Structure 1
Amino acid sequence: MKPVTIRPLQASDCMQQLTALLHAAYASLVEQGWNFTAADQSVETTRSRIAEGHTLVALQGERLVGTVSIRGPKRADETYIADAPPALYTEPGTAILSQLAVHPELRGQGLAERLMDAAEDWAQAQGFAQVALDTAIPAQALRCRYLRRGYVECGGVQWRGKTYPSVLMSKPLTPLEAA
């Protein structure tokens, strides 16, 4: 099996392939009745969601097999997909992690952990004090993954049009000079 490399998204990367990866990775969540945005978002929505931050991609040879996005806090007047952002997402010093995806054929090999490590490392290098994310409350496996990584549940939100309530989670980052 070819090794997997992780690098920042490049302008030459194909947005259609990135969107197709998100659809494939989130399909099993849709089967459980959870309509995550990444499960069926358009290419334009993918572009919009990555425009404000730093996106990493995982490649196996030339094949796109994973991704994660991370960005700084939202402005209070900025929308998060179609909703006002929760207060956690507007706090100074907060990086927001989203669109974590691994192709179903590569699950169980630690790639999601590698992507999260890279995203958290980027946030730490940018001087962010914490990383925040949200996921479906009923998605117990995802919640457990984040709890194992040191995230704590710190609130909830009901995104417009979603079939599930979401939990907000955050993880403090150690400043580089203290690391």
Structure 2
Amino acid sequence: MNEEEIIIRPYHPDDSIGQITTLLHEAYGQLARMGLRYLATHQDQATTLDRIASGVRTFVAEQGGAIVGTLTLYGPYPESSTPWYRQPTVFHFGQFAVQPRLQRNGIGLRMIELAEAEARALGATELALDTAQPAEHLCQWYQRLGFRFIEYAQWDVTNYRSVILSKRLVGEMDQASQD
């Protein structure tokens, strides 16, 4: 990894939507080459901005003034076609990307940990995500981070079956204090 420090911070409206969109395309490129049509493989800048605006918080990872990572946290989604996302204390994240040359250096993990903390602070008891079922390497990575299978989903904008994975944010110690 480049020695220049990676700073993870909240998205600011002055951040370049073009840079974020290009980052998404590059980071999802391997998945596109696998034949998986994630929205992030081809979305335009207007879609990127809409996705950021619909979230409760977007984080960016920055290195030397360039955006090298992004993650958007979404609150409960009562209109979702998947029942899990409709739960009032289930938050989820998406538009998650790290510059390919910087992957496997802990940047993504740091971003997920920030999303977990933010979701917990906003009252979430679960943090969920969806990804392509055929992207087994991603499913396995998320499972190593403590995410578990919830259900399948089929989105109109993808060409694959998705898996919904979720991680409990309230542990046994938290439960004991609530009893």
In structure 2, the residue corresponding to 1:59 is in which secondary structure?
strand
Corresponding residue of 2:63: 60
* Identity, % of aligned positions: 37
Give, in angstroms, the shift of residue 173 of structure 1: 0.5
Contact residue 159 and residue 166 of structure 1 kept, 8 A: yes
1:155-174 equivalent positions in 2, closer than 5 A:
155-174=151-170
Corresponding residue of 1:81: none
Give, in angstroms, the shift of residue 52 of structure 1: 2.1
Corresponding residue of 1:80: none
Give, in angstroms, the shift of residue 127 of structure 1: 1.3
Compute the TM-score of the two structures, normalised by the length of structure 2: 0.91
Q: Which amino acid aligns with 1:171?
A: K
Q: Which amino acid aligns with 2:38?
A: F
Corresponding residue of 1:126: 122
In structure 2, the residue corresponding to 1:10 is in which secondary structure?
coil
Q: Which amino acid aligns with 2:67?
A: L
Give, in angstroms, the shift of residue 30 of structure 1: 0.2
Corresponding residue of 2:132: 136
Contact residue 91 and residue 119 of structure 2 kept, 8 A: yes
The one of 9, 12, 21 equivalent to 1:19 is: 21
Corresponding residue of 1:110: 106
Give, in angstroms, the shift of residue 152 of structure 1: 0.7
Compute the TM-score of the two structures, normalised by the length of structure 1: 0.91
Distance in 2, matches of 1:35 and 1:102, equals 18
For this pair of structures, how many residues does the alignment match? 171
Give structure 1 regions of 4+ aligned residues with deviation exceeding 2 angstroms: none
Contact residue 132 and residue 163 of structure 2 kept, 8 A: yes
Q: Which amino acid aligns with 1:151?
A: F
Contact residue 74 and residue 85 of structure 1 kept, 8 A: no
Distance in 1, matches of 2:121 and 2:64, equals 27
Distance in 2, matches of 1:128 and 1:10, equals 24
Distance in 2, matches of 1:105 and 1:161, equals 27
Q: Which amino acid aligns with 2:71?
A: V
Corresponding residue of 2:83: 87
Distance in 2, matches of 1:85 and 1:5, equals 35
The one of 11, 19, 33 equivalent to 1:9 is: 11
Distance in 2, matches of 1:169 and 1:52, equals 20
Contact residue 68 and residue 98 of structure 2 kept, 8 A: yes
Q: 1:114 to 1:132 in 2, by over 3 A?
A: same
Runs of at least 5 residues in structure 1 that lack an aligned partner in the other structure: 77-83
Corresponding residue of 1:101: 97
Distance in 2, matches of 1:64 and 1:116, equals 16
Q: Deviations over 1:71-116 (max 9, x none)?
A: 101122xxxxxxx531111110111111110001101111111111
Corresponding residue of 1:36: 38
Give the CA RMSD over aligned residues: 1.5
Give, in angstroms, the shift of residue 161 of structure 1: 4.4
Corresponding residue of 1:72: 75
